[in-house]
Amino acid sequence: MTDRIPPADQDRVKIFDTTLRDGEQSPGASMTLDEKLQIATLLDEMGVDIIEAGFPIASEGDFEAVSEIAKVIQNSVVCGLSRASKRDIDRAWEALAHAKRGRIHTFISTSPLHMEYKLQLSPAKVIEKIAESVSHARTLTDDVQWSPEDGTRSEHEFLVEAVTVAIQSGATTINIPDTVGYTAPGESAALIRMLRERVKGIDAVTISTHCHNDLGMAVANALAAVQAGARQIECTINGLGERAGNAALEEVVMAMRVRNDIMPFRTGIDTTRIMQASRLVSNVTGFPVQFNKAIVGKNAFAHESGIHQDGMLKHAGTYEIMRPEDVGLSESNLVMGKHSGRHAFRTKLTELGFDLGDNAFEDAFVRFKALADRKKEVFDDDIIALVSEAKADEAAERIKLKFLRVICGTEAPQSADIILEIDGKEHRHTATGDGPVDAAFNAVKALVPHDARLELYQVHAVTEGTDAQATVSVRMREGGKIVTSQSSDTDTVVASCRAYCHALNKLLVRREKGKPEAMAGE
Ligand SMILES: CC(=O)SCCNC(=O)CCNC(=O)[C@H](O)C(C)(C)COP(=O)(O)OP(=O)(O)OC[C@H]1O[C@@H](n2cnc3c(N)ncnc32)[C@H](O)[C@@H]1OP(=O)(O)O
Ligand SMILES: CC(C)C(=O)C(=O)O
C-alpha cells in the first residue's frame, strides 16, 4: 500500500520527546524542577516539535514542572499526560494554562489483558470513556492526542473501533503505543497500515508511534511505523524510559538522516545538539551512557584496531557512516592541561555542551587545575566528569566530605578515618570494613544513620592510565524512593565516598520537607 500522507507533509516526521515524562518513569531517574527546565530548554532549542513535560495529576511536583516549562518554552508544543478522567484532563490543562502551544495527551488501555485486570472495565465502558475524555479535552484545546495503551496487544477489531471513536470525538493525533515492547518491525508497520486501511478519517490526523525497548527493537519498530505512514515518533534522549526504555531520539533522528535513501523523511532536529542533550540527561539522572551506545556512546566514533585506523586515516568514510560533528562531537584540538587558562577552559566547556554560571565555572576551573596538577593529560571525558561533579556540588548539600584517609592492604581489617561536614558542623569517625570502600561507607553511615539500601555500586575508569579518574555510580533505595549519584576522582575511594554522600543528600531532599533528620550531632 502506498502512503497517503498529504504531499506537503509527506516527508516531515514530528519528534515528540517524552524524556521528562516516560524518561522520568525509569526507577532512579527523577529530576528536579531546575533540571527539567534545563532539559526542556535544550529540547526546544534543538527543534523538538512536542515536549511531554509530565503527568500533572501525578503530584504537585509534576504539576509545577509542567506549568513552569509551559511558561518558558517558545517554540515546541508543551504536552501534559492524563488518564481518561475529567479530573486528570482539567489538571493537565490547568498546568498548560500559560503555554504558547499546549497539548493534552489522554490515554486508556485497549488490550483485553489491561481492560480486564488493570482497569476492570468492559470494552463497552472503555469506548464510552474514550468518547467522554477526548470530547472533554477538545472543549479545552484543539490539540488533543489520544493513545490506546498496550495498543500492539489489542485486538484489531476493537482497536479500529477505539481509534475511530477517538477521532470522531476530536483527537488530532493518534499515538499507537507498544507499551511493553512486544512488537517487531514487520508487525509494527502492518498495524499502522491496518489502521490506515480501516479507520475512516485517520489520514486527517497525525499518526504517532511510541515504542518501548524490552526486546531491543524500539527504534526499528518506530522507523517501521514511519515507513507505514506514522508521522510522529515518541522518543527520549539516550532511550531513557520505563523498564528497558523508549526509542532513543538520537537514533531515530540519525537513522532517518543517514539512511535518507531508504527512509526519505526529515525532522526539524538540529543534530549538532545531540551530544549536549545526551550528556545533560546523563548528568542530571546519573544514568551513564553505555560505551557502545549508538550515536552517543563514548566508543561510537572511536577506532582502535590498526586496520580501521589505517582506513580512517585514508578516508573517514571507510569506517564512519556519519561525521562526529553532525551529532555535536567536538573536533577541537584544544589540549587541556595545567597551563590552560580560563578562556580555553570556557571554550572547551562550550564545545562539550556545558554552560555554567559564574560560580559553578570558577569551581569547575579550580577543580580542573587541581586535576591537571595530578594528571599528565586532561581528556574531554575527564572534564565532563569533573563538571558533572561541580554541578552536583552546586545543589544545596547538607553532607560534605571534608577529609578521608584509608588504611588498606593485605592485612585486614581495612579502616577509614573520615570527617564529614553535616549542616555546617564537622564530625569525625573511624570505621573498619571489608576493603577500603566498605570501611569508608561504614564511617559515613555511622555519622549519617539511615536505612537506605545500596542497590548499585559501580566503578569505571574515565580515561586510560594508572592516573585515570574513576567514576563511581551508586544507586540507593529508601522505601519507595530511589536516587542515583556519580562522582569522579583519581582516587577511587574518594570518588566512592563523594558519590555515597551525594546520594544521601538527594535522599534527604526527597524525604518529607520539614521533618528533622536524625544525623550526627542532633
Ligand atoms: C504506560 C504508561 O506509562 S502510563 C503512565 C504511567 N505513569 C504514572 O503512573 C505516573 C505516576 N502515577 C501516579 O502518580 C499515580 O499512579 C496516579 C496519581 C496517576 C494515580 O494514583 P492513584 O489514584 O493512587 O491510583 P493507582 O496508581 O494506585 O491506580 C491507578 C488507577 O487508575 C486507573 N487507570 C489506569 N490507567 C487509566 C486510564 N488511562 N484512564 C483511567 N483510569 C486509569 C487504574 O485502573 C486504577 O484505578 P482504581 O484505583 O479504580 O483501581
Ligand atoms: C501513555 C502511553 C503513551 C505510554 O507511555 C505507553 O503506553 O507506554
Enumerate residues 6+ apart whose C-beta is below 8 A from 236: 17, 18, 19, 22, 23, 245, 246, 247, 248, 249
Residue 213 Cα, ligand 1 centroid: separation in angstroms? 22
Ligand 1 lined by 511 (C-beta under 6 Å)? no
User: And the C-alpha cell for 303?
Assistant: 577506532
Residue 412 Cα, ligand 2 centroid: separation in angstroms? 52
State the binding site for Mn(2+). Answer: 22, 210, 212, 246
How large is the C-alpha radius of gyration of the chain? 25
DSSP H or E run through 239: none
Which residue's alpha carbon is nearest to atom 46 within ligand 1?
119
Ligand 2 lined by 16 (C-beta under 6 Å)? no
Q: Which residue has the cell 527523577?
A: 30
- 370, pLDDT greater than 80: yes
Q: Which of 20, 159, 179, 246 to mutate to test the pocket of ligand 2 (most atoms within 8 A of CB)?
A: 179
Ligand 2 lined by 149 (C-beta under 6 Å)? yes
What is the pLDDT at residue 395? 52
Cβ-contact 105, 82 below 8 angstroms: yes
Please state, in angstroms and rounded to a whole number, the distance separating the CA atoms of residues 51 and 301: 29
User: Mean pLDDT, the chain, as a whole number?
Assistant: 90
> Lowest mean pLDDT: which of 15-29, 266-280, 332-346?
332-346
Please state, in angstroms and rounded to a whole number, the distance separating the CA atoms of residues 348 and 417: 37
Q: pLDDT for 440-458, tens place per residue? A: 999 999 999 998 989 889 8
Q: Sign of the C-alpha dihedral, residues 6, 104, 117, 25?
A: positive
- Which atom belonging to ligand 1 lies closest to the Cα atom of 242? 3
Average pLDDT over residues 190-196: 98
What is the pLDDT at residue 292? 94
Ligand 1 lined by 83 (C-beta under 6 Å)? yes
Q: pLDDT for 345-365, tens place per residue? A: 888 887 777 778 888 888 889
In the structure, what pLDDT confidence band is assigned to residue 522 with cuts at 50, 70 and 90?
A: very low
Spacing of C-alpha 444 from chain mean position: 30
CA atoms within 13 A on the CB side of 373: 5
What is the pLDDT at residue 389? 67
> Lowest mean pLDDT: which of 76-85, 187-196, 345-354?
345-354
Ligand 2 lined by 111 (C-beta under 6 Å)? no
What is the pLDDT at residue 416? 95
Q: Provide the ipTM.
A: 0.98
What is the pLDDT at residue 518? 41
Q: pLDDT for 69-80, tens place per residue? A: 999 999 999 999
Nearest to 518 by CA among 447, 440, 419: 447
Q: Which residue has the cell 535518507?
A: 260
Q: pLDDT for 210-243, tens place per residue? A: 999 999 999 999 999 999 999 999 999 999 999 9
pTM of the full predicted structure? 0.81
What is the pLDDT at residue 331? 59
Q: pLDDT for 6-59, tens place per residue? A: 455 689 999 999 999 999 999 888 888 988 999 999 999 999 999 999 999 999
- Which ligand is nearest the CA of 173, by number? 2
